């Protein structure tokens, strides 16, 4: 492994940095693999890494239609937390958070995981009651959680507008001190580099166009670079999941929506935590470069277009300014969108599909970046052991048949409301 360390950096500096090897790619696509992973986002790359590292399965190819980490991994607002109410979601995200805490050392790649805290604002007595219930449930499961009063919020975040005459006055907040952010590109590159080092083959600009299926069992995929046979195929393509399921001949209980995010011009450090506004939705954090990263709800229509309308930008910005009025004259610099895949109960879909040997990891909507390490870990174990990892088992597709759904949002079978 080409280790990154201060000594190695110094040694390469003396050689004009000409001796570094490429971190991934460069090997030819073979005709056959034990496992093919479709989608080179954080989830697919993490799965390949843990397959090789934890289970010794290295005859693996990742095929990515664009560039590595160019899907939702590149487009998300990078917020990480485990403050969930339902046991299956809370345990999964907490396992992920623990993996995040050691990830830079594990990958020998700085993923810039920053535990700057996550503040979820309450704007009514009802929301405070809900957050108190969530905090109690989290603590009961061994997850850190605090309820902040308005006075504690003022001390923690002096710039926050706590005026009682504002349109949606703040009543308090749910606070998770271990929550925070990580650098999205570094996560993709870190997993890719480590997986490649362990023998995994990675192919960019290689589009899966169809599946080879014989007698109800997966036999491989047809890609834009030719056919590849495989015993197991894992599809990890986020917003495009329903399109690939259709190619395999089944439907998934989810809908896809564009969702936007945007950044401001860079500022000196002004917001030292992640803050979430809960009358409708708006969230904000500040990158190490100084840009304010902001996002809100889905676009009000289904689709696979990674583009959104001005209405959403306007309404998110209005909420951000309600929280932090001093930002009203800051300019937005860039906007973009990703495609969120949201199941009927708002929780992910993990594991076996109606086609034997064809697995899906999807349904993460606009909340799956935080799950990247655990999704990789549990999907790798599911493939290696031939049965669902205990943390992934509650999210099987069959839960819709068996009536065991996990409705974190409590809004029923309406994906757009989750």
Nearest to 184 by CA among 45, 83, 344, 308: 45
Which x/- pattern, by CB under 6 A, does the window 165-204 give for ligand FAD?
A: ----------------------------------------
Q: 255: which strand partners?
A: 342
Angstrom distance (rounded) from CA 368 to CA 69:
13
Angstrom distance (rounded) from CA 184 to CA 394:
27
Q: Is 368 in the site for ligand FAD (CB under 6 A)?
A: yes
Q: What is the DSSP letter of 385?
A: H
Nearest to 305 by CA among 360, 240, 235: 240
Q: Which is nearer to ligand FAD, 60 or 340 (CB)?
A: 340
Angstrom distance (rounded) from CA 394 to CA 396:
6
* Of positions 24, 36, 37, 44, contacts ligand FAD by CB under 6 A: 44
Encoded tokens for 117: 């805290």
Which x/- pattern, by CB under 6 A, does the window 281-300 give for ligand FAD?
A: --------------x-----
Give the position of tokens 């590595």.
Answer: 68
Q: Is 355 in the site for ligand FAD (CB under 6 A)?
A: no
- Strand duo 292-298 + 282-286: pairing: antiparallel
Number of shown-chain residues binding ligand FAD (CB under 6 A): 39
Which x/- pattern, by CB under 6 A, does the window 207-246 give for ligand FAD?
A: xx---------------------------xxx-x---x--
Which x/- pattern, by CB under 6 A, does the window 377-406 give for ligand FAD?
A: ------------------------------
* Of positions 35, 36, 42, 118, contacts ligand FAD by CB under 6 A: 42
Angstrom distance (rounded) from CA 153 to CA 159:
10
Q: Is 134 in the site for ligand FAD (CB under 6 A)?
A: no
Which x/- pattern, by CB under 6 A, does the window 314-343 give for ligand FAD?
A: ------------------------x-x---
DSSP notation for 106-168? HHTS----B---EEEEE-SHHHHHHHHHHHHHHHHTT---EEE-HHHHHHH-TTS---TTSSS
**Binding span for ligand FAD by CB under 6 A among 62-70, 83-91, 149-157, 194-202:** 62-70
Q: Which is nearer to ligand FAD, 127 or 276 (CB)?
A: 276
Nearest distance in Å: CB 68, ligand FAD: 7
Nearest to 316 by CA among 360, 280, 285, 290: 280
Nearest distance in Å: CB 262, ligand FAD: 9
Applying CB under 6 A, the residues found at the interface with ligand FAD are 38-44, 63-66, 70-73, 75-79, 207-208, 236-238, 240, 244, 259-261, 295, 338, 340, 364, 366-370
């Amino acid at each position: 492994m080409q280790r990154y360390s201060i000594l190695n950096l110094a040694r390469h500096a003396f050689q004009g940095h000409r001796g570094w090897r490429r971190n991934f790619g460069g090997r030819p696509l073979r005709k056959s693999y034990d496992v093919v992973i479709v989608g080179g986002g954080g989830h697919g790359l993490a799965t390949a890494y843990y397959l090789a590292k934890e289970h010794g399965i290295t005859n693996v190819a990742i095929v990515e239609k664009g560039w590595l980490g160019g899907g939702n991994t590149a487009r998300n607002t990078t917020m990480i937390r485990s403050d969930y109410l339902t046991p299956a979601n809370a345990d999964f995200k907490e396992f992920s958070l623990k993996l995040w805490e050691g990830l830079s050392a594990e990958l020998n790649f700085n993923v810039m995981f920053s535990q700057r805290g996550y503040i979820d604002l309450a704007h009514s007595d009802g929301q405070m009651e809900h957050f108190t219930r969530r905090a109690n449930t989290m603590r009961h499961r061994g997850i850190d959680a605090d309820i902040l009063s308005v006075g504690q919020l003022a001390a923690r975040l002096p710039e926050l507008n706590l005026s009682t005459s504002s349109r949606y006055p703040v009543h308090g907040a749910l606070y998770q001190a271990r929550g925070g952010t990580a650098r999205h590109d570094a996560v993709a590159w870190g997993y890719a580099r480590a997986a490649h080092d362990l023998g995994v083959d990675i192919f960019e600009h290689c589009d899966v166009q169809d599946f080879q299926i014989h007698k109800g069992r997966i036999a491989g995929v047809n890609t834009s670079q030719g056919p590849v046979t495989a015993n197991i195929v894992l599809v990890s393509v986020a917003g495009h999941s329903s399109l690939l399921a259709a190619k395999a001949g089944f439907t998934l209980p989810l809908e896809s929506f564009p969702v936007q995010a945007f950044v401001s011009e860079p500022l000196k450090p002004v917001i030292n935590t992640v803050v979430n506004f809960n009358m409708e939705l708006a969230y904000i954090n500040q990158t190490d470069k100084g840009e304010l990263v902001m996002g809100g709800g889905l676009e009000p229509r289904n689709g696979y277009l990674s583009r959104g309308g001005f209405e959403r930008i306007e309404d998110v910005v209005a909420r951000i300014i309600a929280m932090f009025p001093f930002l009203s004259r800051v300019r937005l610099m860039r906007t973009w969108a990703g495609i969120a895949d949201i199941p009927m109960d708002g929780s992910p879909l993990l594991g076996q599909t109606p086609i034997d040997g064809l697995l899906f990891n999807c349904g993460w909507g606009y909340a799956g970046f935080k799950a990247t390490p655990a999704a990789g870990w549990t999907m790798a174990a599911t493939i290696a052991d031939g049965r669902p990892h205990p943390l992934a088992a509650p999210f099987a597709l069959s839960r819709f048949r068996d009536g065991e759904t996990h409705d974190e949002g409590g809004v029923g079978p309406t994906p757009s409301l989750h």
